[in-house]
A and B are shown apart, each in its own frame.
Chain A
Amino acid sequence: MITIGNLAVLIALIAAVYSIGASVYGGLNRRRDFVASGEHAAYTCHAMVVIATIALVHGLITHDFSLKYVASYSSSTLPLRFRIAALWGGMEGSLLFWALLLTSMTSLVIFQNRERNRILMPFVVATCMTVGAFFLSLLNTVTPPFAQLPFIPAEGSDLNPLLQNYWMQIHPPALYLGYVTWTIPFGFAIAALATGRLDDLWIRTSRRWSLAAWFFLCCGNILGARWAYEVLGWGGYWAWDPVENAAFMPLMTGTAYLHSVMIQERKDMLKVWNMTLIILTFCLTIFGTFLTRSGVISSVHSFTQSGLGPFFLAFLAAVIVFSTILTIRRLPELRPKHQLDSMLSRESAFLFNNLLLVGIAFATFWGTVFPVLSEWVRGVKITVGPPFFNRVNAPLAIALLFLMGVGPLIAWRRSTIDKLARTFLAPSLFGITAGAIAFFAGMRDINAVLVVSFSAFVLYTITLEFHRGAAARVSMVGQNYVSALFTLLTKNQRRYGGYVVHLGVVFIFIGVAMSSIYRVEEMYTVDPGESFSIGPYTLRYDDAVDRSDDHMARMIATLTVFENDEEIATISPEKRFYRKPEQPATEVDFRTTWRDDLYVILGSIDPEKTATFQAYINPLVVWFWIGGFVIIAGTGICIFPVSGARRRERAREAATARTQEHA
C-alpha cells in the first residue's frame, strides 16, 4: 500500500502539471483535443489522489505503525472513527485530504460543464490544477504522507485528545470544503480574465459554486465555534484566535462578493471590485491554510516551524501577482457602463455593506498579523488580543446589521426621502420601541441596546417582505397564505433564501451580543456536599466518581442544580487524563435553555475529591446556534436546484419583475 500511495501522489502531480499545460494550450489555440486531454488528466489526477487517500486511511485503520504519519497520529486503542478522522488530524494527511477535496470539486465542475462554457472551462481546469499541483508538490517533497520510520514502533503516539471527539470529525471537512470550493469561482474569474469574456457569464455560472463555498465556510465556522464551546472548555465559542480568524476573513469577503455580484448582474457595474473580491477571498483561503499549517503567527516563542510557511507565502505572492496582472491588462474592458445614480438606493446600501465587510476582514487581518508586522517594522513584537477585535469589529458589525434592514426595502437605482420615510416609518418605530424597552428594562450597554433595536428593525423588514410577497400571491393566485409563504421560498429561492439567511444573522447578533456582554463568571473550590451559587442557580457538588479505562483516566463530578429551591438538573463535568500523550483534558458540561446556558468546568480535583469549579452563565447563547442553523437552511434554499419547469417560470417572473422595477 505504501508503494502504491507514493506512486499515486507522484502520478497525481504529473497529471496535474500536464493538465495545466494541455488546458492552457488548448484554451488559447482553441484546440478541442488538448482541452479534452487536459480534462482527462484532471480526472486522472483525481483518481490518483483518491487512491493515495485510500492507501493512507488503510494504513490508519490497520495500525501500520511503520508509517510515520500513522505512528504520530493514532494508536492501537484509538477507536475506528477517530482513526479515520486522523486523516485530517496531522499535517501530511490534511494536505492530502485537501488535495482530495480540490480534485473532487474539479472533477465535479468539469462534469457539470461538459457541454457548457467550453471557452471558459480550460482556464477553470488550469486554475484548479495549478492549486492542486501546489499542494501535490508539497506532498511529494516537504510533507510526504507515506514517509516510513526506520523502525516499527510498538505503539503510536495517538491523536491529540482535543481532537478525539465528534466535532473534530465533521468540523475540519466542512472548513476545508469551504476553503477549497472557493477555488472554483476563482477559477471562473481567472477564466473570464484570460478569455476576455467579462460579462456576467462567469458570475452566473459560478454562482451556485460561490454559494456552496460560502455555505461550507459558514458550516466550518459554526462547527468550529461549537467545537470550541464543547471541547476546548473555556466558557465561550469564539476567541479571535489566528486560526479562527483565518476562517472568518474569507467568510466576510465572500459575503461581500455574494452581494456585490448582484449589482454587476443588474447594472453591469463594479466589475473590477468583484474581481478584486473573488481574488481576495481565494487568497484568504490560501492564507488561512498558511496560518493553520505554518504556525507562523500562533507561535509566540521559538517553536520549530514546520518549514511550510515560505512555500505558502511564495504561492500566495504568485497568485496575487498573476491575478493582478491579468486584471490590470483587462482594466479598459472592465470599466463600468453605468454610474451609481443615488446615495438613496439599494446599490449604495450594498456598496457600504461591502465596505463594512471588507473593513471587518481588514481589521481582523491587521490584528492577526500585527505581531509579525510590528516586529518587522519596529523590532518589537506587539500582539493584540480579543479586546482589539471586539472593539473594532463590534461597531462595524452593528452598522452592518442596520444596513441589513435597509437593503431589502430600499429601491434599486434611486429612492426619495419621501418614499423612504413611508417605507421605513413602521420598521424604524418598531426598532426604536424595542431599543427603548430594552433600555428601560435595565439594559445600559450601548452596543446591547443598539443590537436589540436594529435586530427588531431588521426582523420587521424581513417579516414585511415575506408578508408582502405572500399577500400578493394570495390576491393574485388565490393561494392560501401559508402555502403562499412556502411558494415564495421555492419560486424565488435566491431572494427569500437570502432573507432566511439574514434572519439567521440577526439571531447570531443577538446571541453574540447578549452572551458576551452579560456573561456571569464564578469560581469556587468546594468539598462534596457543599454548594455554591451563580446568578439564579445554586449548584450542589454531590460526588465525584472514577471511570478510568485503558485509553484514559477519568474523574466525573456530579452537581445538582437548583433554581428557587427546586431541583432542575444535574451537571457532570469531568477531568480526563489520556494515557498515550500523557495529557490531561477537561470535559465541560452545560445545560442549555432558551434563557441561558449554565456552563460548568471541573478545574481541578484532588484525591480527597475537593474540586474547583468554574461556572458561567451565557445569556441567550442558544440563539447563536439557532442562527447558525437558520443560516445553513437559508443558504440551502438558495442553492437547492429547482426543476426545469420551475426555473423557466422563475426566469419569466424575474423578467417581469425587472421591467416593473424599471418602469
Chain B
Amino acid sequence: MNQQLKFVAGIAIIISTVGFLVYTAVDQTKMYMVTVSEFVTGGNAYAGTTLRIAGRVAEDSMVWDSKTNDLHFTLDDIEGEGTIGVHYTGILPDMFAEGRDVVVEGPYAAGDPFEATTVLTSCPSKYEAEPGDDPNYPDRAASEAIEN
C-alpha cells in the first residue's frame, strides 16, 4: 500500500479512537446538573441518570450525627421555589454549613430524601463575591468533594 495512504489510515484510526472514547465515556459518565426547582418540577424525567443538584442549605435544617456520620438537611432552591430533603453518610465537608450553596450528587431516585453520594460545597459567602478568584482554589478545592 502507498506509504502516505497508510499514514492517513493510521491518523484516521487514532482520531476516530479518540472520538469514540470521548463519545462513549460522556455517555456512560454524564451527570445532569439541575437546580432544586428543576429537579422538583422535572418529575421522573431524570430517572436512570446521575444528578448534581444545586441548592442552598436551609437554615435550621441540618442534623448531623457524629457517631454514625449521618447528615440530614433540607436543600432550598437558590432563587426560586422548591425544597428537597437530602441524606448523606460520610465525612462532613469543612465548608458545609446552613445558608451555604452546595451541590449534591447521586443517582436519581423518586421520593424523599435524596440519597447523596457526594456533597460539594462552594466557597463561603465571603469569597462568593469573587469566586474562582484563585488559581489554587479550584472548584473541588473550594468545594472539597468528599467522595463516598
Contacts and interface: CB of A to CB of B under 8 A. Distances in A.
Given A163-B136, A298-B138, A299-B131, A339 B4 contact: yes
B60 interface: no
A463 interface: no
Interface in A208-235: 224, 227-228, 232, 234
Contacts of B18: 359, 362-363, 392, 396
B117 to A, nearest CB: 11
A385 B95 CA distance: 21
B128 to A, nearest CB: 7
A612 B22 contact: no
Interface in A271-308: 292-306
B66 interface: yes
A603 interface: yes
Nearest to A299: B131
B91 A380 contact: no
A90 B135 CA distance: 9
B32 A584 contact: no
Contacts, number: 214
A242 B139 contact: yes
Contacts of A343: 3, 6-7, 10
B106 to A, nearest CB: 12
Nearest to A288: B135
A241 interface: yes
A366 B26 CA distance: 10
A553 to B, nearest CB: 13
Contacts of A298: 131-132, 138-139, 142
Given A300-B103, A355-B14, A391-B29, A234 B147 contact: yes
B90 A523 contact: yes
A163 B137 contact: yes
A362 B18 CA distance: 9
A127 interface: no
A604 B133 contact: no
A538 interface: no
Interface in A157-213: 157, 160, 162-163, 168, 171-172, 175-176
Interface string A341-364: 111000010011001100100110
B124 interface: yes
B137 to A, nearest CB: 6
Contacts of B94: 583-586
Contact of B3 (A227, A341, A606, A610): A341
Contact of B91 (A172, A339, A367, A604): A604
A383 B52 contact: yes
A614 interface: yes
B25 interface: yes
Nearest to A303: B131
A507 B88 CA distance: 37
Given A370-B26, A383-B52, A299 B132 contact: yes
B129 to A, nearest CB: 6
Nearest to A387: B29
B134 A612 contact: no
Nearest to B30: A382
Contact of A304 (B128, B135, B144): B128
B9 to A, nearest CB: 9
Interface in B26-57: 26, 28-35, 52, 54-55
B122 A292 contact: no
Nearest to A343: B6
Interface in A367-385: 367, 370-371, 380-385
12 contacts: A172-B135, A224-B136, A241-B138, A292-B135, A293-B132, A294-B132, A301-B101, A305-B131, A355-B11, A392-B18, A604-B69, A610-B66
Interface of A: 88-91, 94, 157, 160, 162-163, 168, 171-172, 175-176, 224, 227-228, 232, 234, 239, 241-244, 292-306, 339-343, 348, 351-352, 355-356, 359, 362-363, 366-367, 370-371, 380-385, 387-388, 391-392, 395-396, 523, 525, 581-586, 601, 603-604, 606, 610, 612, 614
Which 4 A-B pairs have CB atoms at the shortest separation, nearest pair first?
A295-B132, A298-B139, A603-B91, A243-B138
Given A384-B31, A603-B90, 16 more contacts: A88-B135, A171-B136, A243-B137, A243-B141, A302-B79, A304-B128, A306-B130, A380-B32, A381-B34, A384-B29, A385-B29, A388-B26, A388-B30, A391-B29, A583-B95, A603-B91
